[in-house]
Amino acid sequence: MKKTILSFFAIAAIASSCTVVRPGEVAMKQRLGKLIDKSYVGGPVAFNPFVTKVIKLDTRTVEIFNVLPLPTKEGLSVDAEISLLYHIDPAKVQYIYTHFGRNYEEVIVLSNFRATAREISARYTAKELYATERLKIEKAIFDELVNHIQMHGFVIDAVLLKDIDLPPQMMQAIENKVTAEQAALQMEFVIEKQKKEAERMIIEATAVKQAQDIINSSLTEKQLQYNQIEALKSLINSPNSKVIITSTNNGSVLINTDSNP
């Protein structure tokens, strides 16, 4: 009976003096209130439970999802669904724990994230937040966060501006403005098309005039007389020809081609 009890306590003592560090975790030992300058990644870690405790931090990518009221350039406030993806640098877990504790996400990550999102959104109009400049806004927030917290061991993976909730009147105003801009662009296209058509017609008319000038310059007096004679021959040989009256520089000619006497 005593052996069984001793065995039970021995197993309990061994179990309480060992922990397992899972994938995506980094562990540290804190002995008598002081961190040991060594980190443990994956596998079992033995420790003395009476004077030592093992602290684990998650190094996997984490998503922070927030619905934030963001100011705009016009002085309005819009609700934005925005996500931050980040993870902590395994090489800096001791620094993070020492300076920010276990609540590091609220202390430094979330506070900087919220402040940066508001600072960047105030540079843009509601329309730009809602429709046209989302990628720029995401990149601006990403870059600012990198400058603010990456030096402390927090790696920013992505900033995602998922949705912007505008008041109905503002949404209608933005849609009307976009429609008007599209109509203006369409009108510019029509005007440009008409200009191109006018240029084409001018070029065509110029080409016709140039062709006529070339033909007129080649028609000499003798050439005209020759063409006239050839035309008369065609008329004379025509069965429908009756009387042909023409004139030349030397006088008039009357030709009767009627076969009847």
Summarize pLDDT for 94-134 with one digit per residue, the tens: 888 888 888 888 889 999 999 999 999 888 888 788 777 88
Cβ partners under 8 Å of residue 47, min gap 6 = 17, 18, 19, 29, 53, 54
Architecture of domain 62-171: 2-Layer Sandwich (3.30)
Nearest to 232 by CA among 221, 247, 222, 251: 247
Q: What is the dihedral of CA 89, 95, 100, 106, to 10 degrees?
A: 0
Q: Between 84 and 221, whose confidence is greater? A: 84
Give mean pLDDT, residues 153-163: 90
d(CA 235, CA 226) in angstroms, rounded, equals 14
Distance between CA atoms of 243 and 257, rounded to whole angstroms? 6
* 1 or 210, which is more confident: 210
The confidence band for 84, taking pLDDT boundaries of 50, 70 and 90, is very high
Report the chain's mean pLDDT, rounded to a whole number.
77
> Hey, which residues does 9 pair with through a beta bridge?
none
High-pLDDT (> 90) share of the chain, %: 15
Flag the least confident range among 11-20, 87-96, 105-114. Answer: 11-20
Does the pLDDT at position 261 exceed 70?
A: no
Q: What is the mean pLDDT of residues 188-209?
A: 86
**pLDDT score of 36:** 74
What residues does each domain of the chain span? 2-58, 62-171, 221-256
pLDDT of amino acid 162: 84
Report pLDDT for 244. 56
Vertex 246 angle, CA 242 and 247, to 5°: 160
Examine the pLDDT at 200 and tell me if it is beyond 80.
Answer: yes
Across 37-66, average pLDDT: 77
DSSP 123: T
Q: What is the DSSP string of 85-114?
A: EEEE-GGGHHHHHHHH-TTHIIIIIIHHHH
pLDDT confidence band for 11 (50 / 70 / 90): very low
- Mean pLDDT, residues 62-90: 88
Q: Are 155 and 89 in contact (CB under 8 A)?
A: yes
**pLDDT at residue 10 in the model:** 43
The Cα 129–Cα 216 span in angstroms is 68
Cα–Cα distance, 208 to 214 (Å, whole number): 10
The count of residues in the chain is 261
- Is pLDDT at 259 greater than 70 in this prediction? no
Q: How far, in Å, are 101, 206, 209, 220 from residue 213 at the CA level?
A: 93, 11, 6, 13
